[in-house]
Structure formats: C-alpha cells, structure tokens
C-alpha cells in the first residue's frame, strides 16, 4: 500500500511540475517570448526589431512559418490594404488570374519566394516568382495572397486582378479582389511581409 501511495504521489508531483513548466513564458532563440500555455507560435516582436529590410526578410525566411496565423494575417492586412479613393488607375492592361491558378502557381512556397510581375510600360503581362524580397520593383509575399484569399473568402474561380495605378505620386501595382462583400484593394509595401 505504501508503494502505491508513493507511486501516486510521484505521478501527481511530476504532473504538477510539467503543468508549471508549460504555463511559464518560454524564450526562443529568436528572442520572442511566447506563452506556451496560450500558443505554440511566435509574435512579430523580433521581426519589428530588425533594423534593415534584408534582416527582416531573413527573419521571415527563418521564422515566418512559426508566426501566429492571426498575428501575421492582421499585420499583412494592415500593411497592404488601401482605399479605392486613394488610387488613380492607369489605362494600362491589367493581368487577371483565377485564385485556383494563382494558388497552384504559389505551390508550397512561403517566405522563400515572392511574386513579381512581367511589366511593359503600364501593362502587366504576367507574374513570376523571385527568390527574395526587393524594393527595386513591386513584389508580394506568398503569405499575402493566402491572407487575402482567406479575408475575401475567395472561391477557386474568384479572379484576382493586378493593375497599375498611383497612390499619391507613387506608381504601384494594385491588387484588386472582387468578392461577395464588394471590392478590396491592396498595394505592395516596402516591407517583406
């Protein structure tokens, strides 16, 4: 009986230790503290502390898949959403693609590739994957498209349109999504998210 009681006490003690361990904040090698009882994902705290765009892009390549989905979703929408009234569209030819085709094109990429464009004057003639983020020409992250698909509840046959326009005096490639809720507009940012 004493052995059974000792065994039960040992199991209870080990269980309590394990629960206490999981309830504490852990600090990952990347320096982002997460409460493991609440989530097994990262915030963008360390990302925001990176001082250069190259460092931010590298942080996303290294840790992007570990960022909490709702955190990444909100950050992408905040950085990329624009109002239609802020955009002056050019007369150039837009490029249109169905969500199912774009999703297949993106394949399993995440922050290891960015979507850029084949451009002739103000005509967008196609899209392409490039290996890294750049501010030299417009590019969007792969997670950006996954977020706008989720946010706009895109169906496989929903169309995404890329069109040249200006916001203030800056030339931009604007992403236009028509959905059951209306039309949403997005712009690339000078941020690798």
User: What is the arithmetic mean of pLDDT over 55-83?
Assistant: 96
Percent residues over pLDDT 90 in the chain: 68
Distance, in Å, from the CA atom of 18 to the CA atom of 127, rounded to the nearest integer, reads: 50
User: Across all residues in the chain, what is the average pLDDT?
Assistant: 83
Domain spans, the chain: 81-187
What integer pLDDT is reported at residue 188 of this predicted model?
82
Q: Sign of the C-alpha dihedral, residues 134, 61, 177, 82?
A: negative
Strands 182-187 and 81-82, sheet pairing: antiparallel
Say whether pTM exceeds 0.85: no
Read off the pLDDT of each residue in 151-169 and give the average, rounded to a whole number: 94
Helix (H) or strand (E) holding 170: strand 170-179
């Amino acid at each position: 009986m004493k052995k059974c009681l000792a065994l039960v006490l040992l199991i209870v003690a080990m269980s309590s230790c394990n629960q206490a361990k999981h309830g504490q904040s852990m600090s990952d090698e990347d320096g982002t503290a997460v409460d493991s009882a609440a989530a097994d994902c990262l915030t963008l705290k360390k990302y925001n502390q990176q001082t250069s765009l190259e460092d931010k892009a590298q942080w996303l390549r290294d840790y992007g898949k570990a960022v909490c989905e709702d955190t990444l979703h909100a950050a992408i929408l905040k950085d990329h959403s624009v109002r239609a009234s802020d955009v002056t569209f050019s007369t150039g030819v837009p490029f249109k693609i169905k969500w199912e085709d774009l999703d297949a094109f993106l394949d399993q990429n995440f922050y290891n590739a960015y979507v850029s464009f084949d451009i002739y004057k103000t005509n967008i003639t196609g899209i392409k994957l490039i290996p890294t983020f750049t501010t030299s020409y417009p590019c969007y992250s792969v997670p950006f498209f996954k977020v706008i698909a989720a946010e706009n509840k895109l169906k496989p046959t929903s169309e995404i349109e890329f069109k040249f326009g200006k916001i203030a005096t800056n030339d931009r490639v604007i992403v236009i999504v028509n959905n059951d809720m209306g039309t949403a507009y997005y712009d690339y940012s000078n941020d690798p998210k």
